[in-house]
Chains A and B, each alone.
Chain A
Amino acid sequence: MYGNAYVENTGNNNSLTAGEDPVKLAEFEARIAAGEKIEPQDWMPKEYRRQLIRMIEQHAHSEIIGSLPEGTWITRAPGFRRKLALMAKVQDEVGHAQLLYSACETLGKSREDMINDLINGKSKYSNIFNYPAVTWADSAVIAWLVDAGAIINQLTNSKGSYGPYCRALDRICAEESFHLKYGHDNVVFLATGTPKQREMVQEAMNRWWAPLMHFFGPSDKISQHTETLMKWKVKMASNDDMRQQFLDMYVPKIWDLGLTVPDHNLKKNEESGKWEYTEPDWEEFKRVINGDGPCNKERLAVRRMAEEKGRWVRNAILKKDARYVAPLA
């Protein structure tokens, strides 16, 4: 599950290629334009490597942290079948993190460094996981709509230029489709159930709408220039385009169940074919991503505890002659 990379302010587009060999750069860009994949051993601009490391690493962290809000309900899932399915989904998310960490390592950042940057708060992860899953219905809405958003983002990114990332995403997308179906089944079950169940799922929808609108990242109007990153196929679609795609695919399905969305301005403009909505509160988004959300502290503390309490196991089986080699592809 993943939203969108929070592209750092890198100044103007020229500074991304400053100091690069113009001949190699031209060859590199020609290969990408021709649809070729870049492999770890290939020459690449420093900024291409840096942006990809940040993006894949954020993606990996999001998978790990993303399993926490859903994991909240494993112990109290309503029934054995739901519990088994939720455990399988959470296991998938953790597995996705493993694939993504491996893909990121091919660019030269070690796994230990990535984990350290996560637990020390230096690296970001998808902001949506800083919100709590208050009831079982929240976990249903997460599995359906957060995963729906993630699939839009991941399918888009899987057409990018970096080979190991694309291959990891292909495997991940194949598994996400189970998550989406499972989540939809859960939401439909509640929405077509008793008045209490309907109320629960509507309340969860109300709680998750704002984080879902934030999910694809800041509006293109306030987002930095990403022209070069688009040309390098690091970033494949604009935040607003992905948000539009999400609204187009899922708002009708939400309304179909007789549920509402807490935004009175939300409607499709039939002339432009675009959805109109209240601009999400980007100040809130910034505040939460910088640490001041309802669950930021808990998420990182749980992660630190896992590393801390797992250390003796890792040490116990660590062989003395082990040495680190970055993966090949």
Chain B
Amino acid sequence: MIIKSLDPRITRAGIDDESKDGTQQPLDQWHTYEVFQQKKRGTHHVHVGSLHAPDAELAILFAKEQYARRGQCVNLWVVKTADVFATEYEDEDIFATTPEKKYREPEVYKVMDRIQAFKAKQNS
């Protein structure tokens, strides 16, 4: 039966409510891109989410619509999800530092003690 709607656009479209032909095939919605947004010049681009697009050019257009509609944005990057290589959360320990490498931390360099001691000795 053809749908009669309160919405004139739907009535005009003459939609058959028995139609079943909307079924999606794999990749019907294309592959995914990751979106990076820069809110202000001089700041980092930040990952804000992903989207589906057939190519990079349209990915930029969709990113503008989906992620930069209201909020401030001066620049967008899109990267194919397949091209992103990432570490595993399971390997989080690779980022831990060991106590033996204290020489790499700024706070272990306490020159002021030595300077004070030196000055005290000079004045004595």
Contact = CB atoms under 8 A, between A and B. Distances in A.
Interface string A280-324: 000000000000000001100111111110010010011100111
B25 interface: yes
Interface residues of A, number: 59
Contacts of A9: none
Nearest to B1: A297
A322 B30 contact: yes
Given A304-B20, A327-B34, A95 B29 contact: no
Contacts of A304: 19-22
Given A71-B7, A110-B26, A119-B22, A305 B13 contact: yes
Contacts, number: 147
A203 B51 CA distance: 41
Q: 8 closest A-B pairs (Cβ-Cβ)?
A: A327-B50, A304-B22, A307-B22, A112-B24, A72-B7, A325-B82, A301-B17, A317-B54
Interface residues of B, number: 50
Interface of B: 3, 5-10, 13, 15-17, 19-32, 34, 47-52, 54-55, 58, 62, 65-67, 69-71, 80-82, 84, 86, 88-90
A212 B91 CA distance: 47
A237 interface: no
Nearest to B82: A325
B44 to A, nearest CB: 16
Q: Which of B66, B67, B86 counts the most A-chain CB atoms under 10 A from its CB?
A: B66
B64 to A, nearest CB: 11
Contacts of B48: 171
Majority secondary structure, A binding face: helix
Given A115-B29, A328-B84, A75 B24 contact: no
Contact of B69 (A71, A95, A103, A105): A95
Contacts of B3: 297-298, 301-302
A132 B77 CA distance: 41
B24 A317 contact: no
A314 B32 CA distance: 14
A56 B5 CA distance: 29
Given A113-B24, A329-B47, 19 more contacts: A68-B7, A75-B7, A91-B69, A99-B49, A120-B20, A120-B23, A134-B6, A167-B49, A297-B3, A307-B24, A308-B22, A314-B28, A314-B30, A317-B54, A319-B55, A322-B30, A322-B54, A328-B34, A329-B50
